[in-house]
Structure 1
Amino acid sequence: MLKTIPKSKGRVRLVSLILMAVVSFYLIVCLPKPAYAMHIMEGFLPPGWAIFWWVVALPFFILGLRSLTRITKATPELKLLLALAGAFTFVLSALKMPSVTGSCSHPTGTGLGAVLFGPLAMSVLGSLVLLFQALLLAHGGLTTLGANAFSMAIVGPFVAFWLYRLVMQSGKQRLAIFIASAVADLTTYIVTSVQLALAFPAATGGFMASFIKFAGIFAVTQVPLAISEGLLTVLVWNWLSNYGHQELEMLNLMKPKTE
């Protein structure tokens, strides 16, 4: 069994390189274009709300750093898989499609990492993804990083993690992966709608009217995107099950193969 480790690592490294190549191509082609993306853009939130979400998100980020430190010290062999989870999130959340508002919607890609390493680890990976996207792609912003991190890197992964554990009680792992990643995507946009509604309540109807407006607009593109993300995550999981089985065993996500 030990002889298969280099081959497994090599395949994980290959997929990581492919994802990085896709990211590089995306940066070269799309960087010159202005982005009006579904992450809350720079300067859009009032200062009070921007600070509030930073304060809420920071404790999760700090706990996530401790979680990542424990993972990498206990199992340094999983660093490549960590990189793969981060690259998967970066690539998916950078693939924007037009929304009916003139803004954009996109997948989040956080469900896979949440299942693999837990929600606290993804709070760091997701926040770093959002930081790089804000700096390199004008996708989101620095003042709104706390709000975007709370919705995509914190709430989404926690929902994915607990849904996966809940559905796994039925023994259907692929169904659990699909539901976890798809609902995490939808939850991210529900939280974003809440954040926008809190910051900009409607003159008539207040918070609830504003929330219904934002959530209804996002649902037009986000529901099919969430389903697509769930299916894609299952495909990646199938690949990991075949070629990264030992890494999944180390994470107690797969039973050892019987000879």
Structure 2
Amino acid sequence: MQKKRGIFLMSLLFCLTLTKTVFAMHIMEGFLSPLWSISWGVITLPFIVVGLKSINNKLKENPKLKFILAVAAAFTFVLSALKIPSLTGSCSHPTGIGLGAILFGPTAMSVVGLIVLIFQALLLAHGGITTLGANTFSMAVVGSLVAYYTYKLIVKAKGSQWLAVFLAATLGDLATYVVTSIQLAVAYPSATGGFLESLIKFLGVFAVTQIPLAISEGLLTVLIFKAIKAYNYSELQDLNVISEEV
């Protein structure tokens, strides 16, 4: 049974890799000054430390969760590797971070997001090592936090679980690009209007491609979540994602 689960979910994720050629990246190598590169890395570090402890505790309690964590990581890797050029030095793309944030919590996905970004920087030339802190903070820290608490708030309010998953993934994606826009605006303020003018420019450019991408990611995340729920129901109960009443 476990083998069939793996074949089904991994086949679904593999199909996603056939949809598009990659031709852009996260905030690229060298695009931020050393000051901002180091600053974003320092800000991100505490989330990584807490996330490592969170993952270790969950896997100690139930080693079977390794499979679901691997699926969440693969989902994040595949979706965040699908790029649509948006602006020199950056890009629009899904993040895939919402699924794992719902399942394992925001700090755990900070670690997963960091690992994904390292592999993309080294193997696919997406993003960079010097911008790793900034990219991790926007996608894996803020994106995860927004996705996780959106899901929890809707479920706590007795809303539809599928609506909760959809909005969590969608808003987590959009939050990533709001933060990315802030990071770029802080690093490159407009000569005439300063930070605010630069922020409006970056947000405007990203919005054209990011809004439909975020909605598409929300819908796809619902489908993957349904598949995991169908084949790994007991594991989701262990993660406190669902209960008998859901």
Whether TM exceeds 0.5 here: the answer is yes
Q: Within the alignment, does 1:97 sit opposite 2:90 as a pair?
A: no
**Counterpart selection for 2:152 from 143, 165, 171:** 165
Percent identity over paired residues: 56
Aligned residues: 245
**Counterpart selection for 1:123 from 110, 118, 130:** 110
RMSD in angstroms over aligned alpha carbons? 2.2
Q: Within the alignment, does 1:246 sit opposite 2:234 as a pair?
A: yes
Structural mapping, 1:28-39, within 5 Å = 35-37=23-25, 39=26
Amino acid at match of 1:223: I
Q: Which residue of 2 aligns with 1:178?
A: 166
State the 1:254 CA deviation.
2.3
Structural mapping, 1:144-223, within 5 Å = 144-168=131-155, 169-223=157-211
Q: Within the alignment, does 1:85 sit opposite 2:78 as a pair?
A: no
1-structure distance, mates of 2:17, 2:168: 28
State the 1:244 CA deviation.
1.6
SS of the residue 1:98 aligns to: strand
State the 1:156 CA deviation.
0.3
2-structure distance, mates of 1:24, 1:229: 14
2-structure distance, mates of 1:135, 1:19: 25
1-structure distance, mates of 2:17, 2:218: 24
Structure 1, unmatched stretches of 5+, are 1-6
Q: Within the alignment, does 1:14 sit opposite 2:7 as a pair?
A: yes
Q: Within the alignment, does 1:58 sit opposite 2:81 as a pair?
A: no
Amino acid at match of 1:174: W
SS of the residue 2:192 aligns to: coil
Q: TM-score, normalised by structure 1?
A: 0.88
2-structure distance, mates of 1:102, 1:68: 33
Structure 2, unmatched stretches of 5+, are none
Q: TM-score, normalised by structure 2?
A: 0.92
Question: C-alpha offsets along residues 151-209 of structure 1, whole Å, 9 cap, x if unaligned?
Answer: 00100000111111111113311000000000000000000000000000001110000
